[in-house]
Structure 1
């Protein structure tokens, strides 16, 4: 099950620049489109006439036209028109609160009366000219919580990403997990080590010696419903590590927005925001390509993990100290789900009374 009274990243604007986009989020099929005012609309991907997907249609005069028989739907879920038909009595379809911000389109799939755009997380790097961002999207056939587990425990880098960001020192360095103002944090610092290939390239790009000893850090931050931001970087050893001044380090934020599709699949919006050489578009493309390859390695592992879990539902998975970040994140999700279900029951009782 998923929490629905929250904001998820649904898509990026380029995905429906030419035609409507159909996407399943939290088990609900939604059609996204842009009206003539430039605003994004999100409605149930279901034409009330014959049930055709509205996302297979096109936009005309601000409405979403069904590609089957021409019914035109507004962003509020009401039928605007249909050739040779009076539409006043046509049923509405569900519309969704939607907001375009920070280069993403956010959607609220729960109780629309509770949607508040102030609850969308603040992404300072998305509006700061001193930062650059590049990213992509993967569709992954596994429970979205498995991806959260994966990102909150980076021990796997030594094994899954051995040729790029992995190194044995990750295994050897202790990891600390803590809960700070509702945010789960897992923190790992490594001192006086050699940088792995990905970070050697980043040091070179920032004009630093790729062969020098470095201090490395990984600070994973989970915020509900499913967002993980990871501060990562290396600094030339002896300059303060994480606290080093910019001229001594290469650092960035790994951006992870994990949006449930079904119980065993999700949309994974990944990227990296950096505050060195933001004007270098070639470097942005280079990092995007390298990061995309790294995350593709996660994809295979997670999908195979999901298949095993489904095949052996009776098996209990071990919980070790390195899993504490994912365990804490799941506890938060479970509490939100429980509250949402209780609120729904109270609402149902009030309506029936």
Structure 2
């Protein structure tokens, strides 16, 4: 159950550098490549000749060349040529709206007539020299909503990420949750605590002492279909916490773009954007390595959770106050999916 009339992150530009990329998005098998003018194109990953995946071929002069018998297809989904054959009567492949923006390739898997590039979320940190970003991609065998639950309730950090960002004070600070239209915001603030290992490293990266009490914050922002941006950071205690001057804190935005592959698998684009010492490439690499390890710690938990839910579909799960962010996010998704289905059911 996922909305399809919306934009999802499909891949990063490096993944289609000089070669096609096959990726299933919301159940749609799509091949991404660059056309004649290096624009991004996305067509059905299916050769009309014998059904081979076009993604197993190559790109020549902006056209997809099937790796099976050499059929060449253009960005418009029409067969352009095939050795020894007339191709005028070949069926046209489905095409998908695809846009390169903010360092990602976005795709609209639903009704193509509704695709509007102006609705791609604006990412200010991706367009500013005052910010640095480092991230990666994981493939995870779980329902995309389980990852949203995970990110909208950071209580699990105390247990899953005990050696990096977890600490008992997270459990002790009650979160607040607010719904703002189609957006959900869950916030947690901790005062006068000691920073965990990852944040001690970040403090040092901004030239700050790491052995003094800090105020810490986590502000999780969900927006449909499955984007979670989390403002996180620590400031020397008594300096204003979240509102502290930049010289007294280390703060970042945890970037989470969750793209359903199927009902039980996702493409998880993760990263961290920061606005302190953005020119320090070594720091960017260190933070990326740390974030990658932290996110990898969620993988087994989410996949095993998915297996349990599939094995015991009749079991009812508890909903506690810490689950409010995930619960509210799911309600928004249910409403959006219902609206799509209702539209499709109209004569």
Counterpart of 1:114? 114
Shift of 1:84: 1.2
Secondary structure of 2:189's counterpart equals strand
Counterpart of 2:172? 172
Shift of 1:36: 2.3
Pairs within 5 Å for 1:131-170: 131-170=131-170
Deviations 1:30-73 (A, max 9, x none): 00111220101100000000000000011112210111111111
Q: Distance in 1 between matches of 2:96 and 2:30?
A: 8
Counterpart of 2:322? 322
Tell me the TM-score normalized by structure 2: 0.99
Q: Given that residues 8 and 106 in structure 2 are in contact (C-alpha distance below 8 angstroms), is that contact kept between their aligned partners in structure 1?
A: yes
- How many residue pairs are counted as aligned between the two chains? 347
Shift of 1:311: 0.9
Counterpart of 1:234? 234
Counterpart of 2:335? 335
Matched, 1:43 2:43: yes
Counterpart of 2:3? 3
Counterpart of 1:247? 247
Matched, 1:206 2:184: no
Secondary structure of 1:208's counterpart equals coil
Counterpart of 2:195? 195
Deviations 1:228-253 (A, max 9, x none): 00000000001100000000000000
Q: Given that residues 15 and 21 in structure 2 are in contact (C-alpha distance below 8 angstroms), is that contact kept between their aligned partners in structure 1?
A: yes
Q: Distance in 2 between matches of 1:290 and 1:262?
A: 28
Q: Distance in 2 between matches of 1:343 and 1:182?
A: 19
Tell me the TM-score normalized by structure 1: 0.98
Secondary structure of 1:147's counterpart equals helix
Q: Distance in 2 between matches of 1:56 and 1:204?
A: 46
Kindly report structure 1 stretches of 4+ aligned residues shifted beyond 4 Å: none
Counterpart of 1:103? 103
Q: Distance in 2 between matches of 1:174 and 1:144?
A: 25
Counterpart of 2:12? 12
Q: Given that residues 230 and 254 in structure 2 are in contact (C-alpha distance below 8 angstroms), is that contact kept between their aligned partners in structure 1?
A: yes
Secondary structure of 1:301's counterpart equals helix
Secondary structure of 1:204's counterpart equals helix
Secondary structure of 2:158's counterpart equals helix
Shift of 1:115: 0.3
| Unpaired segments ≥5 residues, structure 2 | none
